[in-house]
Amino acid sequence: MRISIFGLGYVGCVSLGCYAHLGFKTIGVDISETKVKMINDGVATIHEDKIDDLIKIGRNQQKIEATLDSSYAVRNSDVSIICVGTPSTPNGHLNLDYIFNVCKEIGEALKLKNDFHTIAIRSTVFPGTNQKCSKIIEEISGRKCNSDFAVVSNPEFLREATAVDDFFDPPYIVIGSSSQKAIDIFKSIHKDINAPVFETSIEVAEMIKYVNNSFHALKVAFANEIGRICKKQGIDSHSLMEIFMADTKLNISPYYLRPGFAYGGSCLPKDLKALKTMSHDLYLKTPIIDSIENSNDSHIQLAFEIISKYNKKNIGILGLSFKSGSDDLRNSPMVTLAEILIGKGFNLKIFDDEINISNLIGKNKEYIEAKLPHFTNLLYNNIDQVIDDSELLVVAKKSYENYLVNVNSKIIIDLVRMKKTTDFDYYEGICW
Active-site residue (options: 103, 230, 267, 431) = 267
> What mean pLDDT is predicted for residues 358-370?
86
Q: Where are the beta strands (DSSP E) in 154-196?
A: 173-176
Residue 422 has pLDDT above 80, yes or no: no
DSSP labels, 129-160: HHHHHHHHHHHHH-PPBTTTEEEEE------T
Q: For residue range 117-137, list pLDDT tens digits in order.
A: 999 999 999 999 999 999 999
Nearest one of 82, 74, 110 to 98, comparing CA atoms: 82
Q: Which of 160-164, 264-268, 331-335 has the lowest mean pLDDT?
A: 264-268
Residue 265 has pLDDT above 90, yes or no: no
Which residues, 6+ apart, have CB-to-CB distance to 306 below 8 Å? 413, 428, 430
Distance in angstroms (rounded) separating the CA atoms of residues 396 and 400: 8
How confident is the model at residue 227, as a pLDDT? Answer: 98
Asked about 18 being catalytic, the answer comes back as: no
- What pLDDT band is residue 42 in, cutting at 50, 70 and 90? very high
Helix 33-40, helix 51-60: angle, nearest 10: 70
Residue 243 has pLDDT above 90, yes or no: yes
Chain center to CA of 98: 24
CB atoms within 10 A of CB 305: 9
8 A C-beta contact, residue 194 and residue 172: no
Burial class (CB in 10 A: 0-12, 13-18, 19+), 194: exposed
Residue 421 has pLDDT above 80, yes or no: no
Distance in angstroms (rounded) separating the CA atoms of residues 301 and 316: 18
> What mean pLDDT is predicted for residues 225-248?
97
Helix 97-110, helix 129-141: angle, nearest 10: 30
Burial class (CB in 10 A: 0-12, 13-18, 19+), 271: exposed
Helix 129-141, helix 202-232: angle, nearest 10: 150
Give the mean pLDDT of the chain.
Answer: 95
How confident is the model at residue 185, as a pLDDT? Answer: 97
- What pLDDT band is residue 356 in, cutting at 50, 70 and 90? confident
- What pLDDT band is residue 266 in, cutting at 50, 70 and 90? confident
Q: For residue range 269-291, list pLDDT tens digits in order.
A: 999 999 999 999 999 999 999 99
How confident is the model at residue 306, as a pLDDT? Answer: 98
> What mean pLDDT is predicted for residues 252-281?
94
- What pLDDT band is residue 341 in, cutting at 50, 70 and 90? very high
